[in-house]
Amino acid sequence: QLQLQESGPGLVKPSETLSLTCTVSGGSISSSNYYWGWIRQPPGKGLEWIGSIYYSGNTYYNPSLKSRVTISLDASKNQFSLRLSSVTAADTAVYYCAGSLSFDYWGQGALVTVSS
């Protein structure tokens, strides 16, 4: 049973870069069975897919965020990470990491507030 846990700063200043890490336990992040993703949810709103990375390192991003997003994988630490640059207040949300093709497994979520 996979377990995922997000970590990172809860407050980011406008125009700066948001960085979050997802630590995976209960399985290897580089297993061919797995596909990893980041999803966010602004307060009171619905889910938005940010992007995903396969065990091979191939990445896919939401076209609306593509120019600002980087997702990477660190097999040695069993972690994958999200970087979102040039943030604004509109990027304030709970950020979830999730695993497996149907997002079977989710972290508890990390609230990131963009404010000066």
Residues forming the site for other proteins (CB under 8 A):
37, 39, 46-49, 52, 60-64, 96, 101-104, 106-109
What's the farthest any 2 CA atoms get from each other in the chain?
41
Supply the minimum distance, in Å, between the C-beta of residue 31 and other proteins.
18
User: Min. distance of Cβ 110 from other proteins in angstroms?
Assistant: 11
Residues of 19-33 as b/e, b for ≥16 C-beta within 10 angstroms?
Answer: bbbbbbeebebeeee
Taking the least distance from each CB to other proteins, the nearer of 17 and 64 is: 64
C-beta atoms surrounding 18 within 10 Å:
22
Cβ distance to other proteins smaller for residue 5 or 16: 5
